[in-house]
Chain A
């Protein structure tokens, strides 16, 4: 659908995007994930042909987009775009939805029907006659979605569509995105800084870091095998740096971090410096006095709870056992097991749940592990 090669964008001497090469396949939901200011919006604007790249090419369905204004308009008219901050024009909801059709010279009668269908899709038929500026943020974003979909685009671009919305409106928009993708087969590119949302929606994920495409892959690849500590932190893994592979027998490795020894699965050779990524939900905690030997749990460490941070129905529990491990425990089990700061516990992680990343051992500036 879209082939992007060596794409770069600078504003003055400030490089926003560097050397992006990416292919978007027909019918997929491709999610761009990255922290704020990483260049997601810039990339999406370039794909929608709103801005010109400094260098590199974007090929849309076989056609090079570096062409005349007229050619770019024709390509742009095959796309729909929803911006992070929904902008509606000061007129009715249905007139807002009709703009794309009006610009394309669609006859009024046909436009009327298609506006109706688009409003039906997003569930706003009842508000058709309302002045759009009086809507709530979530409703405005649904108007923006209907407005983009009314022209039946081949490609739908969504720039952080739920970033400014409450959870209920977010869910609604997410459902709509999935429905549009299923019902019309629309290829969708979506950017988000919400990893969980990316996971819920994406066929494939691209991680953008500091203007570079740091990793592209399926959801599970990104979440369980992040390519480096920064991506690990982005997808919710506190990576443990300063490890070294001391032994590796056919992929079954021993990794030493300080005084602690982990067993993990990796192809990385001995003496390789590594960081370990352990998803907090993979860490089990048991009270230290309960004697327990589960054979599948190779890595067991005793330590004390140093920090407990509530997170919805869960509690993030940090345990100091030579290295710091973080476990995600339900609030209920926390209470039942009587955990509090200072409680001695045994933390367990399966060898298969540890993701081993090659690492140069340098601490990233904001890493909690110096």
Chain B
């Protein structure tokens, strides 16, 4: 009941927390995708020594605990750390950095398996149709778009749901770095279970909005490809 109340009344404090959550996780997802998709493609389309080992390493990093990423980033960006001069500790930018690092492995690994899932006959077909190497790669990435979108969605899911990085890098500072997950932790600690559940429901609603949007974008990509290539008239 309290959740519905909070949403319907657009409680300003809750809205601020939800918006910040969305902003941080979405930025982390976008940056991670911009890194993981090209890098994953690079790994998939090139044969080199240790490729298998690299993929296993990436897959192992799926399981890295969020608090470990939080700790490492904390050490890097704390005042005395090598990146301390950037002043990122206890800022949303620092949290974006942390979540980006956290979700890159899982996105990259899933991008690689998405590309591996495209049948070899597709790449033969593209080459036989006169594609250059680059044209071939672009079309294969497009062909794997739904699976790649799943990788991005999963990355976003991990980012918005995690507590470790948000707590250690952000510090749960009210009106500055408090996000949904850290707020839930705090409220639960104070015994406000109903409020915690309300925040949890809001988190899921935010996730729902993002997933629907990503699905629409991916579906739109098919239409773009169709129009660009001289699709049906009228």
Contact residues of A with B, CB < 8 Å?
Answer: 48, 50, 73, 76-77, 79-81, 83, 85, 87, 89-92, 94-95, 98-104, 108, 111-112, 115, 128-129, 144, 147-148, 151
Say whether A99 contacts B129, CB under 8 Å: yes
- Residues on B with C-beta less than 8 A from A148 are 128-129
Known pairs A76-B130, A99-B129, A151-B130; A94 contacts B124 (CB<8 A): no
Instruction: Please indicate which of the listed interface residues B125, B130, B222, B230 has the most CB atoms of chain A within 10 Å of its own CB.
Output: B230
Say whether B135 contacts A94, CB under 8 Å: no
Report A48 CB to chain B, min CB distance, Å. Answer: 6
Say whether A103 contacts B132, CB under 8 Å: yes
* Besides the known contacts A89-B143, A90-B143, A128-B232, 8 further A-B residue pairs in the complex with CB atoms under 8 A apart: A83-B124, A94-B232, A95-B231, A98-B230, A99-B131, A102-B228, A103-B135, A147-B129
| Per-residue A-contact encoding for B110-123, CB less than 8 Å = 1, 0 else | 00000000010110
Mind listing 25 A-B residue pairs with CB under 8 Å?
Answer: A73-B130, A76-B127, A77-B130, A83-B121, A83-B128, A87-B119, A89-B122, A89-B125, A89-B139, A89-B143, A91-B222, A91-B226, A92-B226, A94-B229, A94-B232, A95-B225, A99-B129, A102-B135, A103-B126, A103-B132, A108-B228, A112-B233, A128-B231, A129-B231, A151-B130
- Residues on B with C-beta less than 8 A from A91 are 222, 225-226, 229
A81 and B226 CA atoms in complex are apart in Å by: 22
Say whether B124 contacts A129, CB under 8 Å: no
A73 and B230 CA atoms in complex are apart in Å by: 24
- Residues on A with C-beta less than 8 A from B124 are 50, 83, 87
Interface size class of B (residues with CB under 8 A): 20 to 34
- Residues on B with C-beta less than 8 A from A48 are 128
- Residues on A with C-beta less than 8 A from B143 are 89-90
Interchain CB contact (< 8 A) of A100 among B121, B129, B231, B232: B129
Say whether A99 contacts B139, CB under 8 Å: yes
Say whether A87 contacts B229, CB under 8 Å: no
- Residues on A with C-beta less than 8 A from B228 are 102, 108
Report A75 CB to chain B, min CB distance, Å. Answer: 10
Say whether A104 contacts B230, CB under 8 Å: no
A85 and B232 CA atoms in complex are apart in Å by: 26
A73 and B126 CA atoms in complex are apart in Å by: 12
Report A22 CB to chain B, min CB distance, Å. Answer: 20
Say whether B126 contacts A92, CB under 8 Å: no
Q: From A91, which residue of chain B is reached at the shortest CB distance?
A: B225
Q: From A98, which residue of chain B is reached at the shortest CB distance?
A: B229
Interchain CB contact (< 8 A) of B132 among A73, A98, A100, A147: A73
A99 and B128 CA atoms in complex are apart in Å by: 11
- Residues on B with C-beta less than 8 A from A77 are 130
A83 and B123 CA atoms in complex are apart in Å by: 12
Q: From A106, which residue of chain B is reached at the shortest CB distance?
A: B230
